[in-house]
C-alpha cells in the first residue's frame, strides 16, 4: 500500500508542477501586458493623428474644389500651390511603411481634385506640371498624379508629356 501512496503522491506532485508551470507562464504573459498596452496606445494615437490630418486636408481640398468656379485664376493658383505643399508635408510626416499605401491613396485623391480645379480654371498644363513637380518633387509627383486623371482633365497629349517629365 505504501507504494500506491508514493505513486499517488508522485502523480499529485507532477500535477502540481504542471499547474505551477501554467501559472508561471500566465504570470509572465500578464507582466508583458503593460508594454503591449503602451504600444497599442501609441498606435491608436498615431491612427487618430493621421485620420484627423487626412480629414482636415481632404475637407479643405473639397471645399476648394467647390469654390473654384467663383475664384480668380490667381486665387486658384495660390490655393493649388498651398495645397500641394500641405500634401507634401502630410506625405513626409507619415512616411512610414505602415502608412505608405494609405498616404499614396490620399495623395492620388487630392491631386485628382486639384487637377480638376486647375483644368476648370484653364491653368496651362505646363504651368501645372512645374508647380506640382516643383513642390512635390519628381518621385512623389510620379506616385501622386494618376495618368488617367491627366488624360481626363488635360487630354492624352499632355499625359504623354507628363510621362516624359516624370521618367
- For the CA atoms of 40, 43, 45, 50, the dihedral, rounded to the nearest 10 degrees, stands at -160
Whether residue 132 has pLDDT greater than 80:
yes
Please count the structural domains in the chain: 1
Overall pTM surpassing 0.85 (yes/no): no
Residue numbers of the domain that contains 101 = 51-165
Q: Sorting pLDDT into bands at 50, 70 and 90, what band is 3?
A: confident
Residue 58 in any domain: the answer is: yes
pLDDT digits (tens, 9 = 90+) for 5-32: 888 888 888 988 989 899 888 888 888 8
- How large is the average pLDDT for residues 39-54? 90
Domain contains 78: yes
Residue 1's pLDDT band (cuts 50, 70, 90): low
Confidence of residue 146 (pLDDT cuts 50, 70, 90): very high
Res. 127: pLDDT tops 90: yes
Instruction: Flag whether 36 is in a domain.
Output: no
Residue 14 is assigned to a structural domain of this protein = no
122, part of any domain: yes
Asked whether residue 101 is domain-assigned, the answer is: yes
In-domain check, residue 43: no
- Tell whether 80 is covered by a domain: yes
Amino acid at each position: 500500500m505504501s507504494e500506491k501512496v508514493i505513486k499517488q503522491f508522485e502523480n499529485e506532485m507532477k500535477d502540481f508542477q504542471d499547474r505551477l508551470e501554467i501559472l508561471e507562464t500566465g504570470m509572465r504573459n500578464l507582466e508583458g501586458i503593460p508594454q503591449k498596452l503602451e504600444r497599442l496606445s501609441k498606435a491608436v494615437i498615431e491612427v487618430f493623428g493621421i485620420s484627423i490630418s487626412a480629414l482636415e486636408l481632404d475637407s479643405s481640398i473639397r471645399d476648394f474644389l467647390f469654390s473654384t468656379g467663383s475664384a480668380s485664376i490667381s486665387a486658384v493658383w495660390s490655393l493649388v500651390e498651398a495645397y500641394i505643399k500641405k500634401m507634401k508635408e502630410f506625405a513626409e510626416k507619415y512616411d512610414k511603411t505602415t502608412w505608405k499605401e494609405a498616404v499614396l491613396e490620399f495623395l492620388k485623391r487630392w491631386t485628382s481634385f486639384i487637377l480638376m480645379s486647375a483644368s476648370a480654371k484653364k491653368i496651362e498644363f505646363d504651368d501645372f506640371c512645374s508647380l506640382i513637380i516643383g513642390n512635390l518633387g519628381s518621385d512623389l509627383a510620379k506616385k501622386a498624379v494618376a495618368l488617367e486623371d491627366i488624360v481626363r482633365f488635360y487630354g492624352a497629349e499632355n499625359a504623354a508629356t507628363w510621362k516624359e517629365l516624370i521618367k
